[in-house]
Amino acid sequence: MLKEGDKAPAFALADQTGQLVRSADLAGKTWVVYFYPKDDTPGCTKEACAFRDSQAGFAAKGVEIIGVSSDTIASHLKFAGKFDLKFCLLADTERSLIQAFGAWGEKKMYGKSYEGILRSTFLVGPDGKIRKVWPKVSPETHAAEILAYL
């Protein structure tokens, strides 16, 4: 997993509308990128809705929100529409960005190990360097935790 001070990886991925979003477009901006396992599942929905409900607070601080999972553009579009998500959801179907940030790894559920997306968040500064890493997050309270940090 990337650490504070590391350079955020370059990327070019489509969002829920099919528009290509490039890391170069974020140069000079502060942004938070959060990685989540799957659209429209209980924990991921709570986390996305918490970011949605806190979006004005992030905007007031000049921080853009980007969610990333390996779901498709169509899945993201449906998820965003169902829960009125107005921020960017990137479709990383090849898991290139997920792996570049180190948000892929071993997980355990009911005593069984498997590989999957590690629910984690990174705050990236205008210089493209990671300012803060949250390697494990609580879906319900995480957005508020980031805002308190900012």
Q: Give the CATH number of the domain where residue 126 resides.
A: 3.40.30.10
CA proximity to 130, closest of 106, 102, 91: 102
pLDDT of 112 higher than 90:
no
Give the pLDDT confidence score for residue 123 in this predicted structure: 98
Q: Which tokens in the block code for residue 113? A: 């190990």
The parent domain of residue 111 ranges over: 12-149
- Is 101 inside any structural domain? yes
Task: Give catalytic residues, as residue numbers.
Answer: 44
Q: For 81-99, how does the pLDDT look when each residue is reduced to its tens digit (9 = 90+)?
A: 999 999 999 999 999 999 9
Give the pLDDT confidence score for residue 130 in this predicted structure: 98
Give the pLDDT confidence score for residue 4 in this predicted structure: 97
pLDDT of 115 higher than 90:
no
Give the pLDDT confidence score for residue 111 in this predicted structure: 82
pLDDT of 114 higher than 80:
no
Give the pLDDT confidence score for residue 116 in this predicted structure: 84
- Is 6 inside any structural domain? no
Q: For 45-93, how does the pLDDT look when each residue is reduced to its tens digit (9 = 90+)?
A: 999 999 999 999 999 999 999 999 999 999 999 999 999 999 999 999 9
DSSP 87-125: SEEEE-TT-HHHHHHT-EEEEEETTEEEEEE--EEEEE-
Give the pLDDT confidence score for residue 6 in this predicted structure: 98
Average pLDDT of the residues in 105-128? 89
Give the pLDDT confidence score for residue 106 in this predicted structure: 82
CA proximity to 73, closest of 13, 18, 12: 18
- Is 121 inside any structural domain? yes
Predicted structure pTM score:
0.94
- Is 2 inside any structural domain? no
Structural domains of the chain, count: 1
